[in-house]
Amino acid sequence: MEIHGKVAVVTGGASGIGAGVARRFAQDGASAVIVADVNLARAEEVARGIGGAASAFRCDVSTEADIQALVQHTRDRFGRVDIYFSNAGILGRMGGLELEDALWEKMWQIHGMAHVWAARAVVPEMIERGEGYFVVTASAAGLLNIVESAPYGVTKHAAVAFAEWLRIAYGRRGLRVSCLCPQSVQTDMTRDGTGSAGLNGVLSPEQVAEDVVQVMRDEKFLVLPHPEVAKYFLAKAQDYDRWLGGMQKLYAQHMGAGSAG
């Protein structure tokens, strides 16, 4: 799909990957870009910087009603949604079994159900038109895992699985689906450090946005801004136990660093 002339919605658009993709969509000639974020002031700042038909909308993707309102607002103003970039995410506290249920639930909502709710809102009309693009921002953690945070790794796996399911169910009915799985990117999440995700370098949002639009043009599934991820994913599939052993070593290093701190 070409971006030119399309109406695009970007959640988590006030910063990081979302802001980078929103700007890139506008540069590539999108007729409208809706910058959606729970932080309306920052979303408005991004929209002003883009200019043209860009506008901001407050949306908390952990609430289905907010997503429905976002989609309805876009329909009312621009007639349709051609591209839905389901990008918003959180990191939360680091840890595993000891983390509170409230954090797990919030991540399930934002990294899992937000994609489901968005798809409910836009996919039927895309299927009816025979055209539409739904992009899920997951993470390399969704293909591999991450040692610092159990709920992050688990819920990002869910994001990948849902994107796969959408492609399986609707890929022959006009819906295009891609899944973005980067390692570390310059975002609010990495301001205080990149952890294990930064082993292969930290990319700018603009670099990630370039990869997103290229994959969308080719209508491929995986967006892998860090090419090393494909190698790790292949190694995981070829020898799961060896891969788990390597991740155990990485986890031990992480815990040792934490103890030393």
Q: Catalytic amino acids?
A: 152
45, 1, 39: which is closest to 22 by C-alpha?
Answer: 45
* Cα–Cα distance list, 28 to 43, 99, 191, 209 (Å): 20, 42, 29, 11
What is the C-alpha separation between 256 and 251, in angstroms, rounded?
8
CB contact at 8 A, 50 and 23: yes
CB contact at 8 A, 126 and 132: yes
CB contact at 8 A, 177 and 167: yes
HSE value, Cβ hemisphere, 13 Å, CA-based, for 96: 8
CB contact at 8 A, 121 and 159: no
195, 84, 82: which is closest to 141 by C-alpha?
Answer: 195
SS3 202: coil
Q: Residue 8: which H helix or E strand, with range?
A: strand 7-11
